[in-house]
Amino acid sequence: MNKVGKINLKNGINLKDAVLKVVDEIGGFKKFIKTGDVVFLKPNYNTADPSPASTSVDFLKVAVELSYDFGAKLVMIGESSTMTLNTKKILGKAGVFELLEMKTPPRIYTFEEGAWVKKEIPGAKYLKKVSIPEILERADKLILLPCLKTHKYAQFTGALKLSVGFAKPNQRVFLHLNLQEKIAELNKIIHPDLIIMDARKCFISGGPSKGVIREPNLILASEDRVAIDIEGIKIIQNFEGNSLAGINPEDLPQIANSKH
């Protein structure tokens, strides 16, 4: 299993330094970003509910800054909210467009306003094909920025579940039967270079938009979606009253079906 970096912010370390240090634990940003790269950041804005339901803008801003610091020529942020909501309105309500005022701003894309590419999923049993955003193919590097939380349908949502946001909204309604297996299959065609998880707060039950909040005060990083999700589940399981109690993380279908 690949290494998962983990840092606690309890010693007063600022967020940017914490993200820098946790990525240093797995090789540093220079391992993942080369000068001139186009870097795509995938946050979590299914809704505009506050963290941990959605990505905290301060965390997203740090990811943009560090990507530019280590040589990215362009940072793209892309998202598509839950199909009943307008993504542009959700991003506005969450404060994401404030990042356009940065000295070196990102470009922000709402997937439903762009083109889609149909993809076959090799070896899939439940999700044989899906449409994903064409804009994703323009990036040299993909960085996932999951929150840490439980999920009322998928049990848990972290790095693996975040990729559901790449699926065309009108196709997501069909994901909910055998949801966890389909999450695993969808991830076969999504290839992140780095995952940085904001675990300063988490839901230990409920989710994805409302739940019981606890504060682990951690930032995690890994190259491995399965490894970081397993670590995230264990963090949630440390809190009394969590909805994942007694579950072996490796037995969760989304994780068990993602192992190679």
Residue 239: pLDDT over 70: yes
pLDDT, mean over the chain: 95
pLDDT 10s digits, 132-190 = 999 999 999 999 999 999 999 999 999 999 999 999 998 987 888 899 999 999 999 99
Q: Distance between alpha carbon 26 and the CA centroid of its chain, in Å?
A: 18
Mean of pLDDT values over 188-201: 97
Query: What's the rounded Cα separation, in Å, for the pair 219 and 214?
Result: 14
- Residue 6, strand partner residues: 220
| Helices 57-69 + 15-24 axis angle, to 10 | 60
pLDDT band at 11 (very low <50, low <70, confident <90, very high): confident
CATH topology of domain 4-256: Rossmann fold (3.40.50)
pTM: 0.97
- Residue 143, strand partner residues: 41, 194
Mean of pLDDT values over 228-250: 97
Query: What's the rounded Cα separation, in Å, for the pair 47 and 90?
Result: 6
Mean of pLDDT values over 19-27: 97
pLDDT 10s digits, 42-77 = 999 999 999 999 999 999 999 999 999 999 999 999
Query: What's the rounded Cα separation, in Å, for the pair 248 and 235?
Result: 13
pLDDT of residue 2: 63
The percent of residues above 70 in pLDDT, for the chain, comes to 99
Residue 260: pLDDT over 60: no
pLDDT of residue 234: 98
Residue 1: pLDDT over 50: no
What residue has token string 């979606």? 225
Residue 108: pLDDT over 70: yes
